[in-house]
Structure 1
């Protein structure tokens, strides 16, 4: 959907729409405490029903500010997402799954 990181950043500044979902994550120790798995699954299902939808983690959906995901939590986040998808739809994270680093 986005050919460049700049295009993605521009859309993030405009906010969520039917083809872009934004979500920041909350952590408690080495676990993700928010958002709740069920609400995340519902949002992912809605996004899956759009053509070429993109879901970006690490962005506050209300303020549209990039809060990021700590590098040491990336494996936890991927495992959490896989658990949501497997538990709900028996599928894996779609590829490509991309990591964008702030410059």
Structure 2
């Protein structure tokens, strides 16, 4: 099963960024991570893959010494920066080894109820276009 999931992640990396796929070399600050997560949740959900160079789609991995901080930033963004708190699916980011390097995969479910926001700002989806709104 892990091999199938790893192959699916490789395919997402090859496709590159879309409205439902975001690729990051390293985890951004928790406020920026929250923005990406609630934007995806308010639209159609998506996947954030950390440890991949966005321009070249090269797998660079998350270094061992940054793994705990990466996981903490993701979880803090969802629990502390987003209102109401966003629960991922699965609830913890997943770690996969691709080409001997570890990548972190965050699966953001689509909101079926609340509109998620952070700092009084939220993203909504309108006719296939996302735009920022303030509350």
- TM above 0.5, yes or no, is yes
More helix by share: 1
C-alpha deviations, 1:8-33, integer Å up to 9, x for none?
212212201122111111xxxxxxxx
User: 5+ unaligned residues in a row in structure 2: which ranges?
Assistant: 100-135
Contact in 2 for aligned 1:21/1:47 (Cα 8 Å): no
Instruction: Compare CA radii of gyration and give the structure with the larger one.
Output: 2
Runs of at least 5 residues in structure 1 that lack an aligned partner in the other structure: 26-33
Shift of 1:47: 1.9
Q: Match for residue 23 of structure 1?
A: 24
Root mean square deviation, CA, Å: 2.3
Number of residue pairs the alignment of both structures matches: 93
Structure with the bigger percentage of strand: 2
Could you tell me whether the CA contact under 8 Å between 1:23 and 1:61 is conserved in 2?
yes
**Normalised TM-score (structure 1):** 0.70
**Cα drift, residue 62 of structure 1:** 2.2
How far apart are the structure 2 equivalents of 1:102 and 1:82? 23
